[in-house]
Structures are given as structure tokens and as C-alpha cells.
Structure 1
């Protein structure tokens, strides 16, 4: 055994301590390194975890965004009119919207993944020819790069089970989109159903075509006018009316077509349209043609507004009313003028005279001249009415020349003329006119190869305060009274009215009429009534005349107005009844009858009926050969006594006719309430046949009514064969008038004297 010495032991112990210390340092270093590595690893794990969380968050956000975008896409497709189809370049359907599937008539879910060519879709072009769906809906040659769109194309989609003629019209457009199929581009095809729009456009086009055709071919002038009242478009009829061309009218101011005096009223109507106070207006006015001539037109204008109510344009119609205007003026002229001479008639004369008398300061500036021809009846009776008419025309010319535009010349009827003289010195002027009339009539009138002499009697009334206060009737009455004095004093005279004539024209004239009745100056004339079927004379109408010792043969309108005033109505009726029954009893043809005109003034006290029936009994005449005619106007105030007297006559076998049928008041009630056996059509309706359609319709209707009531029908005032044929064709059995003969004295009717 070796023994260690302390020194060695100490050395060894020191070495061990040193060795231990070295190991300890190494362990500490390793431990520190491991700790650092662990920390670094932990940090790396934390970083990786944080990155992974960010990636997950980013992925979740992308997924949410994707879902949101898809939701918005679906919502957009639900409300948009466009459908979307996404396909690969090889033609496989990648996506299709519900709208696109509805347009194509396919199921959206089952279509995804199919080839476009395999879809159950039938496409046709505008000519109706089939098209390849893949070539229309998929990749097309024009899609060169992404973002490039091929021009849209209109195709028809024939839905399964439907006819190609009823195909839905679809507007198709395609473009390349990047990364539509993964990394590759895809084709986005949009589809818009334009069927409704095309139908609306077609309807609008059709309406526009129809309107244009209607406007261009309308028989009246039409134009579209802007808000500045200028013509935008016009048709050929308007251009022809204005004597110009359609092109020349475009842009032309409407106002310039009118005469200057009518433009303000037209502008007022246009402004009222624009202001909304009226919807349309109509004006009759004159337009000036391109050649300077004036035409009458009726302008009808309507304002067209936009859907929001603001004015847009005017639609104008222009109708040529020149002919109707002239016809209206002619009818007015005829209504106011004598058809034979062209002079003013009684109606116009009274209007002119009354308007003159209403002017201030007309005393000694106005005078009325009444003129009646001397010897005219002899001319009429000897040479006929044609010669008499030529004389009247000649006299009218003499009166015009004599008046020399100093007044108005009128013919009142027959051979009665009146002149209203207006001059600063009225009295002087009217005497100059009277002298010129006498001088003008000194030269005989040439009628055929004859030279006929005719003179005139003249009565003058000057405008004084009393006459002016009485108006036109007083002035005319005064002139007539002066004329009556001139006729009584001898032919070819001129008399001026004074107050003494007023007394004579009243009580004295009544006395003269009563004396005429006693002296036999009142005579009965007979106008024939014929059967319109064969124009055989079947009867007569009795008409009263006054064979005046100075004034010649006077017609009823010259004196009947005085009969009632003189209290002679009943006496006159009895006188006519006696004369008529005597004539009927003396007629050779015992089948002919005579009608007597009776007014309400002659009925009611029983005297007329008593006299007539007594005369019928005394002369042993069949009651049916005497007919009583009543005028409607006379029955307005008829009472029970009048009805009783008519019933008495009817019961005795005397037929009662309603005269002037179609005029007056309540004719139907008369037919129902009175013992009427027949009617006479008023001559105012006969005169309108055949030119006046309304008169013809009324005559036809009244005749039908009378026949329905089994009444006798007579039409009076027949002057032409046309009228007779029309009336007979429309149920009127009998007729009278100038065509069948004028009223003749009893000697001609009885055949006891040959008419000159």
C-alpha cells in the first residue's frame, strides 16, 4: 500500500476542484443555450400560430365576402332585366342566373356543367332560321381579348312547345372575363328579353304609320304645329287648300295664313289653350291662299300634352267652308230678298227701317216712299204672269236707278214697292226719288214684241218725332195711308202723309171695307185642287178678293188685317159661305167640292155654322161637297164653343180640314181633340222640295201620320212637276198651286165665261 503524502493529496484535491469547476461551467453554458433555443422555438411557434390565425381570419373574411358577393349577385339577378351566363372557352356552363335560365327556358341548377350545345334551347334569327346555341351564347370569334365585347345580336328563343312565330325576342352580348375559369378566361354572356319593348316599338311604329297615312290621305287639311304656332308637318289637303306645297308649309307661321283682322282672336284662343282654360277651340275665319285669294275655313285646334301635363304640340284641322259659307249667305239673302227682283223683302225692309229710326238725329233725314203700280193687273190678266214678272223686274230697275244709292228699295209682294230714303235733306231727296220714278215709268216696257205702259201711285211719309216714336210699323202705315189717298185721287199721283190720313186710314177705311162688302166689291175666286195621281180637278179652294174701284183687284193680305178691326169677320164668313154654296150648286160636275177658309174669329157664336148649313139645305147640296179649312194658328186660343161648332158641322157631314199643317202650335193635339177629317200641308214645306232634304222628310213624315189616322191629305203651293211627283210618291193624294192653275173668278169655274 502506497501512502499518499499530504502534498500529493493537496495537489490532487486542487486538481479535482479545478476539474469540477470546468465541468460546471460547461453545463451552465449548455443549459443557457438550450433555454435560448426553447425561447426561440416558442417564439417561432407563436409567430406561426399568429400567422395561421391571420390566414384563417383572412380565409374566413374572404369566404364571408364571397358569400356576401354571391348574395348580392343573386339579389341583383333577381331584380335585373338582364340574365347572365358564364361559360368556359370550351362551351361548358360554369354559372347561369335564374333570369337567364328563365329567358332560355332551362333549369339553372341542372344546366351548370353541361355544354351549351346540349341545352334544350332553340334559337332563331329575325328571318325565322335556326341558329347554333353554342355559336350565339358561347365563345365567338370576335372575342379577341378580355374585356372586349361583341356587338349585341337579336335572336328569337322558341320555348319548348311554342311556335317559332311566337318566339321570345332576346338581345345577346358576350365578352371575355379574366380568371373566370380558374386561371383561364371565361365567356360572360348577357341576355335581355326585349319582347315587350319590341311589341311596344312595333305598336308605336304602327300607330305612327297609321297616323301619318291617315293624315296624308285625309280629305281635310291637317297639320302638326309647335308651341310657337309654326307648322311642323302638314298634309297634301292643307297644301292644296292654300295653293302651295307641303314643303313650303313646314316652318311657316300659322298666324300668317290668317287675314290681319282675325289674328288677334286666333292668338287669344291659342293662349287660352296653353293656359289650360280650354282643351280645344274652333274658329271660322278667312285664310289667304298663295295666289292671294281668300277662302273661308273652319280651324279646329287641340293641344297635345306630355305625360307630365306640360304642353307639347298642337294638332290642327282646317276645313274649307267657302261653299257652305256661300250657301249660308245665299240662304240668308233669299230669306231677306225678293226672289224675282232681287230687292229687299218685307222682313229686311223692316229691319233696315227700324235700325235707321233708332239712330240719333234722324228727323228730316229719313223718309219712306210706298209705290203701287197702276195698270199692272190688266197686264197680268191679259198677257199672263210671265209678262207681269218682266214688268216687275223692269220697275225694280227703275226704282234702283231713281234711288241712286240713297236708300233701300224693297218689294213687299205683288206690285207693292217701298223705298227707305236716307239723306242729309230727307224731304228733298224723297221727292227727287218720286219724280225720278214717275219719269222712269213714262217709257213703255218691252215684253216680247209688245210695248206695255205702266204707271205708279206714290205715298210719302217723312220722319217726324211722332212717326219715329212709333217705329218702323208706324212709318210704313203712314206711307201706306198716303199711297191709299194717291190711288183714290187718281193714277200717277204722289201724296204726302198728314194727320188727316190717320183718321181716314182708321174709321173711314173700315167704313169703306163695310161698304165694299155691301156693294159686292168683295168677290170669291176659286183655285183648283187636283188628284195628284192623274191631275184631274176634284175641287177648289175659295179665296176672297177685293175688286177695289181705284186700286184694282186686291189680294187678302191687303185688307184682311182690317176685317177683324172693323168687326166684319163674321159677316165676311157668312158672305163667303153663301157665295160658295151657290157656286157648288151651279157646277155641272156634281162630284167636285169647294173648301172655305174659316178662322177662330168667325167661330164660337154659331152664326157661321148656322148660315152654312142653312145654305146647304136651301140649295140641296150634299154636305160633303162643302169643306171647312181651319188654320192652326187660329186655334191656339180656341174654346169649347168653337169646338162645339166644329163638331156640329162635322156631324152634319161637312168635313173639317186642318190648314197650314206642320206649322203653328200643337198639331197633334188638334188631330186628337178636334173633329178633323183631313190636313193641308203648309206651302213652306212644299216650296223646299226637292232641294231642301229637311222639308222632304217633314212632308213624308206628316203624310205618313195623316194616312195612319185615315185622313184626307192635300198639299198646297205646288209650282213644279217635281214637287207634285215627290208628294204623290210620299202619300199626299191631292194638291194645288200654280202648277195646276191660279185662282179664277166663279165664271171660269162654272164655264159661263171664257177667260181672257
Structure 2
């Protein structure tokens, strides 16, 4: 720091002046002297405040260069009031322009004095930046208290109301002038012990009342202060009403609704959920794990692994699952089918969010749909698969899709069924068909499938592997099972069948319809050879026909 004595020229000072100069140079406040509007002296504190490197940067320059334009008129007006040596202005606020471009808020006092025998002004600056920031903070907090929607209430240690903000007036319908000085219990219409709330963790949910007796759902937060307690009372009446409204709606739904916490535990379930799950008389507890209550089977009847459960899919991916079909066994062991939808309650926090599960019992619709699907692919008389189903199975087997490998197709035509219908009636013929279907099923292997394709005709798919000897043995079993007499209406009927076999091989190039035609051709050859015969299809025999 440069000694300011080098900036003002030689001055003839007596010892008293030297002591005064030393005091000014070491003052913590900034002190400036300006003469005829130009800076004549600036002490080291002023150099620091103005962010200059030395006083030489300011000496001789107009004082207005370092005063914010908004503060200049007031400064000049105050200086104009000083008429006698020693006159001083009242403290006033001003803004100085620092060399680093920042603005410094100061409080200034100007004094009319002399400098080297000429009139001058001595200015004392006090930095009020911190004071202004503190005042702004106080004003901000005061504005918060005045404008927040929560009631902010101050009490003395004994519970007397000492502060009551506008929100408290609105919530409790009590003006401040009639509330200050009242016991807090009287003011809020309910017992309230601030010390007990603080001791219990500082938060308490309770019910307060207005002077007219209207109930208020209030969340009270309490903090101890030197002068007593501060209470923040949040009015949750509307929220509580909305929650009750929502709960009433959820409880009235016919669709089951559950909330699952992040750990897979059931937080809540509406009455419909309990009814659907067969637990109407067994209220759920939060200790029940969803996986224990909700082990779901997919639409294919297979038990889903945990990662494929709708709740797990939603939690893992964040995506909603809509109308997933799965089944569970209720508390009575009855298999029920559910349409299940899931979504996150808080998509922004996938890991910490609960999952909303809604479901409805679609057992009746599912079984009806399954029955329609079954009826479309099965014979109504025997409940065996029909021609459409068996044709799809052959096509799938040849393509290696959705069906086991195929070794052969067997075509069966019951001999002389027309005679049974003509002599005993169609009901007897139907009985013979049902009995024959049952017998065929009983002698086949687990991987073989029998179907009725119409009238007295049956098809059998023989699963691979099966050699020619195996096929011949199967044909003999089919003939043997028909050899046992059939009793219908106290009449004995001896049934027989003509059997045609079309064997297939790996890499088969024929289509399903062609294989069926070949099996039919072989059956025709068997029928023309007499009752109870078997023939294998060959290309040569087919050409002969």
C-alpha cells in the first residue's frame, strides 16, 4: 500500500496533524477527501474497498466516477446543505463502483472541512453489504411467514399464543388481534402440548376445530425456541377428504385393487381384491408377500417364473402391463383366471415406487372362450380332435413348429357302420362310434393322437420314432381292441375297421393334405381287400388305383 502523503504534495503539519493522519490511515472505515469535486485523498481501507491497487488510481479524478449514477443526485443534494466548517450530513446509503465492476453498498457521512487551506469534503464510508443481505433475509423470511399457506404460530413456554400469521387466521377463522394472548388449546380448538410434540419427534397428526366447531385435519410440526415454541400447522382437511373420497371409490369398485411396496409386500387391498382372492373373511396383513398370495399361471397354464410376473415386469422395466391373463388358486384351491394390470405409483422413482395392481375375475369368460376354442377343434360326439385340428398338427409336425415329430398317419374307416344305423338306429351307431373312439385312445402310446374326422372315419397321428414293425404292431392292437363285442340296447355288435397307413420320414416333402390323401388311399385298398384289413401306402399301389 502506497503512503498517501506522496499523492498530495508537501503539507506543513504540526504534531497533532500527524497523529490525526495516522489515525485516518489506520481506520477500518474508508475515508475520502474530495476538493472541488475531485479526489484528493483516500485511506488504505478505501483503496481496498474500491478494489484499487493504490490511491494514485483515484487521486485527481472526479468523485462521481466512483459513485453509481443513481446515487449521484442524492450525494450532490446532501453536499449542498453543508455551509459551515464542521457541518455533517445525516448518514445516507449510496452505491460505489468498484474497479472490478462490482457494486459496493455503503452508508456515508460527508463533513465540510479544508484541505491545504481550501474548502473540501471529508467522506466516511461504512460497508453495509452484510447488513443489507441480513435485512433482505429477514424481509424474505417475514414475507414467507406472511404469505405461506401453513399456519405459523408462536407460543411462550407456557403455551400462550405470541404470534399468529395470516394463514392461521384463514385456517382457524380467528383474527390475530383476538387470538394473541390466548392459550394455544383455545386458539386451535383442541388440546395441544408443544413440549410433548417436540419430545415425540416434532410432528403430530391431529384434529383441530374452528370456533364454529368445524373439524380440521392438521399436521403439526413443533420446534423449541429460546422464547418458547414455533408451530407449523398444515391444513390437510381437503387432502384427507380427497383420500376418503378416493378410498370410497376404490372400495366400491368391482375390480380388485392392491398396492405393493418396493419389497413385494401388500400395503393395501380393497374389498373386491379380498373377495376375488377368496379372502373376504381373512384380512390381509402387511407381512404377506405378493409371491405367496399371487403365484400366477400364464394363459398356457404353466406357472410363470417370478421375473415374468406382471408386478416384476413393471418394477424391472418401468412399463405398465395391461390385461395380462394369468390364473391362481384361491384360498379354497379353486383355479381362477384373472385379467391383471400393473403400473408404477411414482414413475420418477422406479426403485422406491410402489406398484398399483388391479385385476378382475374373468374365469367365466375364459372358460367360455376355451370351450368355444375347444368346440371349434373337437368332435362333439366323441370329444376327440376334429379334422381341422389334426390337419394343423400334421402341418406343424412337418414344419417342426408346435407339434411333436411325425412317423405316420393312420386312416381308419369302421366297417358296416351303416348297417348298424339302418337296423338299430343312429343312436346305436353313435354309441358304437363313442366306444370305438375310447378303445382306440386306450391302446395308443402317449405320443400318439386319435381324431374323428367325420362319420365312421378316424385319423391317428403316430409320433416319431416308429418303425414299420411298430406301425404294424399298432395296427394289430387297433384291430384287436375292436374284436371285443360291443353291447348296445341289449344287442351285440361286432365291429371291425379298414386301416390305411401313410408313413413319413425325416425331411418329408409332402404337404398335410397329400399325406392324408395317401393314408385315405391305403385305407381304400384295405377296405377292398375285405373287413379288418391293413394296408401301407406306396407310390406303386397309388398308381395302380
Structure 2 residue 264 is matched with structure 1 residue 264: no
Within 5 Å, which residues of 2 pair with 1:704-723?
none
Q: Which of 490, 506, 511 is the matching residue for 1:471?
A: 511
Q: 2:531 maps to what in 1?
A: 491
Q: Secondary structure at the match of 2:531?
A: coil
1:282–1:300 Cα contact (<8 Å) kept: yes
Q: 1:234 maps to what in 2?
A: 269
Q: 1:80 maps to what in 2?
A: 146
Cα distance, 1:313 vs structure 2: 2.0
Cα distance, 1:383 vs structure 2: 3.1
Q: 2:380 maps to what in 1?
A: 339
Deviations 1:583-604 (A, max 9, x none): xxxxxxxxxxxxxxxxxxxxxx
Q: 1:460 maps to what in 2?
A: 501
Higher fraction of helix: 1
Structure 2 residue 281 is matched with structure 1 residue 252: no
Cα distance, 1:409 vs structure 2: 0.6
Q: 2:258 maps to what in 1?
A: 223
Cα distance, 1:346 vs structure 2: 1.0
State how far apart, in whole Å, the 2-side matches of 1:78 and 1:458 are.
Answer: 96
2:340–2:359 Cα contact (<8 Å) kept: yes
State how far apart, in whole Å, the 2-side matches of 1:501 and 1:341 are.
Answer: 33
Q: Secondary structure at the match of 1:421?
A: strand
1:338–1:345 Cα contact (<8 Å) kept: yes
Q: Secondary structure at the match of 1:482?
A: helix
Structure 2 residue 517 is matched with structure 1 residue 451: no
Cα distance, 1:477 vs structure 2: 1.5
TM-score, structure 2 as length reference: 0.55
Deviations 1:285-327 (A, max 9, x none): 3334445555432321111128899853221113233333333
1:77–1:97 Cα contact (<8 Å) kept: no
1:230–1:252 Cα contact (<8 Å) kept: yes
Q: Secondary structure at the match of 1:312?
A: coil
1:459–1:484 Cα contact (<8 Å) kept: yes
Kindly name which structure, 1 or 2, has the bigger radius of gyration based on alpha carbons: 1
Deviations 1:253-298 (A, max 9, x none): 223332595233336863654654x244543233344455554323
Cα distance, 1:208 vs structure 2: 1.4
1:340–1:393 Cα contact (<8 Å) kept: yes
Q: 1:500 maps to what in 2?
A: 540
1:390–1:447 Cα contact (<8 Å) kept: yes
State how far apart, in whole Å, the 2-side matches of 1:73 and 1:254 are.
Answer: 53
Within 5 Å, which residues of 2 pair with 1:275-294?
275-276=317-318, 278-290=319-331, 294=335
Structure 2 residue 415 is matched with structure 1 residue 380: no
Structure showing greater relative contact order (alpha-carbon pairs closer than 8 Å, 6 or more residues apart): 2
Deviations 1:505-553 (A, max 9, x none): 5xxxxxxxxxxxxxxxxxxxxxxxxxxxxxxxxxxxxxxxxxxxxxxxx
Cα distance, 1:350 vs structure 2: 1.9
Deviations 1:348-398 (A, max 9, x none): 2123333444459x9x97222211122111222333322221121122122
Distance 1:315 1:342, change over 3 A: same
Distance 1:293 1:465, change over 3 A: closer
Cα distance, 1:212 vs structure 2: 1.9
Structure 2 residue 443 is matched with structure 1 residue 407: no
State how far apart, in whole Å, the 1-side matches of 2:260 and 2:514 are.
Answer: 57
State how far apart, in whole Å, the 2-side matches of 1:283 and 1:350 are.
Answer: 30
Distance 1:285 1:149, change over 3 A: closer
Unaligned 5+ segments in structure 2 are: 1-85, 92-106, 108-130, 153-162, 190-207, 219-229, 298-302
Q: Which of 297, 316, 326 is the matching residue for 2:367?
A: 326
State how far apart, in whole Å, the 1-side matches of 2:410 and 2:457 are.
Answer: 11
1:400–1:409 Cα contact (<8 Å) kept: yes
Cα distance, 1:251 vs structure 2: 3.0
Deviations 1:226-264 (A, max 9, x none): 122221111233334334465444232223332595233
1:368–1:461 Cα contact (<8 Å) kept: yes
State how far apart, in whole Å, the 2-side matches of 1:294 and 1:388 are.
Answer: 38
Q: 2:242 maps to what in 1?
A: 207
State how far apart, in whole Å, the 1-side matches of 2:262 and 2:164 are.
Answer: 49
State how far apart, in whole Å, the 2-side matches of 1:74 and 1:259 are.
Answer: 57
Distance 1:156 1:426, change over 3 A: same
Structure 2 residue 467 is matched with structure 1 residue 426: yes
Q: Which of 341, 348, 363 is the matching residue for 2:389?
A: 348
Cα distance, 1:135 vs structure 2: 10
C-alpha RMSD of the superposition: 5.0
State how far apart, in whole Å, the 1-side matches of 2:504 and 2:472 are.
Answer: 14
* Aligned residues between the structures: 367
2:266–2:289 Cα contact (<8 Å) kept: yes
Cα distance, 1:136 vs structure 2: 4.4
Distance 1:98 1:370, change over 3 A: closer
